[in-house]
Amino acid sequence: MQKILLLEDDRNLNRGISLKLEKEGYQVFSAFSAKEAEELFDAAGPDLIISDVNLPDKSGLDFCREIRKKSQVYLIFLTALDSEVDMVNAYDLGADDYITKPFSLLVLVSKVHALMRRARQAGEEQKTEIRSGEIRVSYQDMRAYRGGEELSLSKKELQLLLYFMENAGQILSKEQILAHVWDVDGQFVDDNTVPVNVSRLKRKIGGEWIQNVRGMGYLWIQESVKE
């Protein structure tokens, strides 16, 4: 579950925003002062911060400045200050968005969704390997392993293995496999290409990882996780 740190000293507004975001599936940590927010940030490690600018103990801009010294977490400002200078200052400090009060909760939620999608995509890009049981593939060096032993796979076998692992639990047809693993290189292939290569891959990785689904295609039966 993605986490949001909400820094807003108006308790009614804080509660209203929190309830709406929680209904949208986020975990919300509420703070009512910059000091409290700084402590929560270190403890919770949020994916997004929503912060008021006018706070009881310091400016939200100063809070943002401190956060930017240690993190590039996404940050949305909520404020009654709507001058061009205020907005420019916020963006210069590293804000990702700026919403002036009064505002629509639907607009806030839409902006939160957009930033959270970016956060998820950035997180996926940082994944270094995919693992399924004792089989794992490193994205960095494009090598496959079973346990601690490297598997001797051709380029196409490795692409085939990755395609299966990245689509674990889904039946993949011969046509889908051909399109993903071979057509990307513009190579001509015959009808036996997929079954021959799947059989070869199954021998090399061992075990019952890939099942033939009669008349439909092939299935990687174990769950895969990107790490």
Which has more confidence, 131 or 88? 131
pLDDT 10s digits, 20-51 = 999 999 999 999 999 999 999 999 999 999 99
What pLDDT does residue 4 have? 96
The CATH code for residues 3-125 is: 3.40.50.2300
Q: Return the CATH architecture of domain 129-226.
A: Orthogonal Bundle (1.10)
Domain ranges of the chain: 3-125, 129-226
Long-range contacts of 52-58 (CB under 8 A, 24+ apart): 52/7, 52/8, 52/9, 52/10, 52/77, 52/78, 52/79, 53/77, 53/78, 53/79, 53/80, 53/81, 53/86, 53/90, 54/9, 54/79, 54/80, 54/81, 55/7, 55/9, 56/9, 56/32, 57/33, 58/34
